[in-house]
Amino acid sequence: MAVVNRALKYDGTVSAAVTVDLVIFTVREASLRVLLIERGKPPFEGGLALPGGYVRVGEGLDQAALRELAEETGIDGRELHLEQLRAFGAPERDPRGRTFTVAYLALGPDLPTPVAGTDAATAHWVPVEAALSAELAFDHLAILKEGLDRARAKLEYTTVAAAFCRQPFTLAELRHVYEVIWGIPLDPSNFRRKVTKAAHFVEATGESRTPEIGRPAALYRRGSAELLFPPMPRSADGDDASV
Amino acid sequence: MAVVNRALKYDGTVSAAVTVDLVIFTVREASLRVLLIERGKPPFEGGLALPGGYVRVGEGLDQAALRELAEETGIDGRELHLEQLRAFGAPERDPRGRTFTVAYLALGPDLPTPVAGTDAATAHWVPVEAALSAELAFDHLAILKEGLDRARAKLEYTTVAAAFCRQPFTLAELRHVYEVIWGIPLDPSNFRRKVTKAAHFVEATGESRTPEIGRPAALYRRGSAELLFPPMPRSADGDDASV
DNA sequence: CCCACTTAAAGTCCTACTGACCATAAGTCG
DNA sequence: CGACTTATGGTCAGTAGGACTTTAAGTGGG
């Protein structure tokens, strides 16, 4: 390590390893789930952690996030929503030494059960409530919380909710995404009015899908809009208090 | 290269310098300004750049941002709003070698003209329109743009606008912040109704200030609320289109 | 001392959006 | 065919916001 700080650095400035960590959410079976791995080696061996890994030479941050996503889950990242959360760099966040991590938030439709990656022993889709009360490695609990907050907030004023739905989808499925992530029920009728009136949130395919019971539902696919204006109203009594 | 990298770490992972860069905004004389420095040494010597510097050993990111803020501007960061934007880490962003930077956004009332810091030759408050068409060092133009977008967006749904006003302030001063940052005029009457009805955005001091001409204006100070609900409406014809 | 001027503050009117409902449609299953 | 389920459409009242008018409270000039 000492060799690393060669002529490059003069005084007390840091030369450190940089990693990316991913908060990957999906909606499955009426619950919001996050992908966690059991660490295959120390530190925190056997403990739960967010998937992630070192940024490589010549590799950008987004690029590293996409690669880790593919390696740990076997998923082509171009199919999901991926955005940077922020950087975390508390001096003691990694017992091995100084590391910085750049956290990413990934949102996608019910994803295949991931294959074991390089570092990861096994990966699971864990309901977020369970994950929030679990002991996660490093500062991953804080990262998860920020990812959850960001996801909840983004549903309000963007169209990312549709990223959780495999296309084509019904409006009930889209509404279900909101209900699960916000943890509150929404009025189906008002939700429909809102979504269909918003410009380019969803566009009707003209087809419909007949469920086992009940009236067939019209099918939609994602529209071109990224922002949702006016925003989807979240009832004033926020659930941020629920920790 | 290959040999070097192998010596650095086991495989092709990065060990790099980490810096913080600050986008510091203030409102002065009817324009939004950003603090830029003339670089005192290569690379980009003599060019304009955002203030910033290396993160030190044992120092957290927020801590580094606060320290740089004090060093470059002589300002006590506890008096302004400071938040992380995100990390930037394109492989070629620094000609000296691989570096990552964590960008911060700082918002404050009309700040004193900063003193020359360690690296900085001289610092100036540059109107943002000018800064956007200037040639900034590294990827600082992209960082500035993101900071500007973030600031504009945050005025909508948070109470940060008040961070630009020295307390106590009049509602006209607060409105002026919105008008300058959004670049659009707001109706004084509707603005007043909105701000005073919102819970804990501002609280009246009971006093008033008599200007050189015109009716005296009531004085307010910041309230306890951080979020603004419902949001301050930005006229539908947003400037998001301007890219 | 009254008036012109400036800005602050308060009120009016109308439209758009939303929450809480109720009603109807279109399937499946007995 | 009728019961059940879910989808879709409509009504109605309350609220928030844009455009606008009116009144208030200072200044300085004739």
Give the whole-number percent of chain A exceeding pLDDT 70.
88
Do A167 and A110 lie in one domain? The reply is no
Per-residue pLDDT, averaged over A215-242, amounts to 82
Residue range of the domain that includes A77: 15-140
In the structure, what pLDDT confidence band is assigned to residue B7 with cuts at 50, 70 and 90?
very low
Q: Which residue of A3, A9, A85 is in closest CB contact with B17? A: A9
pLDDT at A111: 78
Task: Considering only the beta carbons, identify the residue of A11, A85, A100 that sits closest to B100.
Answer: A100
| Residue B238 domain-assigned (yes or no) | no
| Residue B215 CB lies within 7 Å of the nucleic strand C | yes
pLDDT band for B121, please (50, 70, 90 cuts).
Answer: low
Confidence of residue B118 (pLDDT cuts 50, 70, 90): low
Last residue of a domain, one of B84, B109, B140: B140
Residues A29 and A107 in one domain: yes
Domain assignment present for A196: yes
- pLDDT value of position A6: 36
Same domain, A129 and A23: yes
Closest nucleotide (C1' vs CA) to B236 is D18
Residues A31 and A117 in one domain: yes
Q: Which of B140, B168, B202 is the last residue of a domain?
A: B140
Q: Where are the beta strands (DSSP E) in chain A?
A: 15-28, 31-39, 48-49, 52-54, 81-88, 99-107, 120-127, 202-209, 217-222
| Within-domain flag for A235 | no
Determine whether B223 is exposed, middle or buried from the number of CB atoms within 10 Å of its CB (0-12, 13-18, 19+).
middle
- The mean-pLDDT minimum among A10-19, A188-197, A226-235, B205-214 falls in A10-19
- How many pairs of residues across A and B have Cβ atoms under 8 Å apart? 107
pLDDT in tens, A61-95: 999 999 999 888 788 888 899 999 999 999 999 99
Q: Find, among A128, A142, A31, A28, the residue nearest to A85 by Cα.
A: A142
Least confident of A62-76, A182-196, B9-23: B9-23
Q: Distance in angstroms, CA of B34 to C1' of D22?
A: 41
Task: Please name which of A128, A132, A78 lies closest in space to residue A106, comparing C-alpha atoms.
Answer: A78
With beta carbons under 8 A apart, name residues in chain A contacting B157. Answer: 157
pLDDT of res. A225 = 97
According to the model, what pLDDT value does residue B125 have?
Answer: 93
pLDDT tens for residues A87-116? 999 999 999 999 999 999 999 998 777 665
DSSP-based three-state secondary structure for A104: strand
Using CB atoms, which residue from A4, A12, A86 is nearest to B15?
A4
- Closest CB to A13 among B11, B56, B231: B56
B149-166 per-residue burial string, b: 16 or more CB within 10 A, e: under 16: ebbbebbbbbbbbbbbbe
Asked if A118 and A23 sit in the same domain, the reply is yes
Residues A91, A154: Cα–Cα separation, whole Å? 30
**Residue that is last in its domain, among A107, A140, A173:** A140
Q: Do A83 and A182 fall within a single domain?
A: no
Q: Compute the half-sphere exposure of residue B169: CA atoms within 13 Å on the CB side of its CA.
A: 21
Nearest 10 degrees: CA dihedral of B168, B170, B171, B174?
Answer: -60
Kindly state the DSSP code that residue A161 receives in the 8-state scheme.
G
- Whether chain B has a CB inside 8 Å of the CB on A146: the answer is no
A151, two tokens: 């996801």
The 10s digit of each residue's pLDDT in B165-180 is 999 999 999 999 999 9
* Within a domain: B96: yes
- How far, CA to CA in Å, does A167 sit from each of A32, A211, B103? 19, 16, 36
**Whether residue B119 is found in the same domain as residue B176:** no
In a domain, A1, yes or no: no
Task: Say whether pLDDT at A233 is over 90.
Answer: yes
Tell whether A122 and A170 lie within a shared domain: no
Measured in angstroms, the CA of B35 and the nearest CA of chain A are apart by 23
CB contact under 8 A, B100 and A9: no
State whether residue A224 sits within 8 Å of chain B by CB. no
Q: What is the tally of structural domains in chain A? A: 2
The reply to whether A59 and A160 lie within a common domain is no
- Does A5 map to a domain? no
Average pLDDT, chain A: 89
Describe the crossing of helices B188-197 and B171-182 by its angle, rounded to 10 degrees. 110
Report the CATH number at residue A26: 3.90.79.10
Contact between B86 and A84 under an 8 Å Cβ cutoff? The reply is: yes
> Which pair of structure tokens corresponds to residue A229?
């204006």
Residue nearest C9, CA–C1′ metric: B189
CATH of the domain at A171: 1.10.10.10
Interface residue A14 vs chain B (CB under 8 A): yes
Cβ B8–A13 below 8 Å, yes or no? no
What CA–CA distances, in Å, run from B145 to A216, B34, B132? 47, 11, 8
Residues A111, A200 share a domain: no
Average pLDDT over residues B140-145: 98
Please report whether residue A41 resides in a domain: yes
Q: Give the global pTM.
A: 0.92
The answer to whether residues A191 and A78 belong to one domain is no
Degrees, nearest 5: CA angle B34-B85-A8: 90
Choose the mutation target among A8, A10, A14, A146 for the interface with B, i.e. most B CBs under 10 Å. Answer: A14
B171 lies in the same domain as B61: no
Check if residue B189 sits with its Cβ under 7 angstroms from strand C. Answer: yes
pLDDT for residue B75: 81
In a domain, B27, yes or no: yes
Q: What gap in Å lies between CA B86 and CA B76, rounded to an integer?
A: 22
